[in-house]
Amino acid sequence: MKYFSQFMLLALAVAALLGLQYQYWLGGNGHFEHSELLTQIEDQQRANDNQVAANDLLRTDVHDLKNGLEAVEEHARLDLGLIKPNETFVQISTSPTVVSSQ
């Protein structure tokens, strides 16, 4: 009878240990879920960093447009085809030239 109670105590301890290990590895808020959340946080941080860089670029562009005429003129030249008086417009073709040998 003495060994049976020791065996039952050992079995209970092993069962408790297995239950705790299950909770740690596979349970809610366990190790695997924690690793997955860390990966998601890293991905979101990269996306946030990219967005911050884009926002900084837009912020500097807005600052230039508000404070200087050079940026406005550059946008007008590139987007609207601005040509000032006494300027010569030159257009260079970037298409490849084909030479036929006939």
User: pLDDT per residue over 18-48, tens digit each?
Assistant: 988 888 777 778 888 888 999 999 999 999 9
Return all residues near 65 (Cβ < 8 A) that are at least 6 apart.
71, 72, 75
DSSP designation for 96: P
Distance between CA atoms of residues 56 and 75, nearest Å: 18
What does each C-alpha distance from 1 to 5, 9, 10, 11, 15 come to in angstroms?
A: 6, 13, 14, 15, 21
Q: Are 37 and 44 in contact (CB under 8 A)?
A: no
Confirm whether pTM is higher than 0.85: no
What pLDDT does 102 receive? 66
**Per-residue pLDDT tens over the stretch 44-93:** 999 999 999 999 999 998 888 788 788 778 888 888 888 888 888 787 87
